Structure 1
Amino acid sequence: MAKTTTSSQPKKAAETKKSTGAGLKAPLTPSADLAAVIGNEAAPRTEITKKIWDYIKAHGLQDATNKRMINADEKLKKVFGGKEQISMFELAKVVSAHVK
Structure 2
Amino acid sequence: MATKTTEKAAPKAAKETKPAATKPAATKAAATKAAPKTTKAAAGAKPNALQQPLKPSADLGAIVGTSPIPRGEVVSKVWEYIKKHNLQNPENKREILADDKLKKVFGKDKCSMFEMNKHLAAHLKA
Q: TM-score, normalised by structure 1?
A: 0.79
Partner of 1:44: 70
Following TM superposition, by how much is the alpha carbon of 1:21 offset from its aligned partner in structure 2, in angstroms?
2.0
1:86 to 111, 119, 126: 111
Following TM superposition, by how much is the alpha carbon of 1:71 offset from its aligned partner in structure 2, in angstroms?
0.4
Partner of 2:87: 61
- Whole-angstrom distance in 2 between the partners of 1:54 and 1:65: 19
Alignment partner of 1:35 is 2:61: yes
- Whole-angstrom distance in 2 between the partners of 1:37 and 1:30: 10
1:70 to 83, 96, 104: 96
Structure 2: state its 5+ residue gaps: 1-36
| Count, aligned residues | 86
Partner of 1:95: 120
Query: Percent of aligned positions with the same letter in both sequences?
Result: 52
Following TM superposition, by how much is the alpha carbon of 1:64 offset from its aligned partner in structure 2, in angstroms?
0.3
Structure 1: state its 5+ residue gaps: 1-12
| Structure label with greater radius of gyration | 2
Aligned-CA RMSD value:
1.7
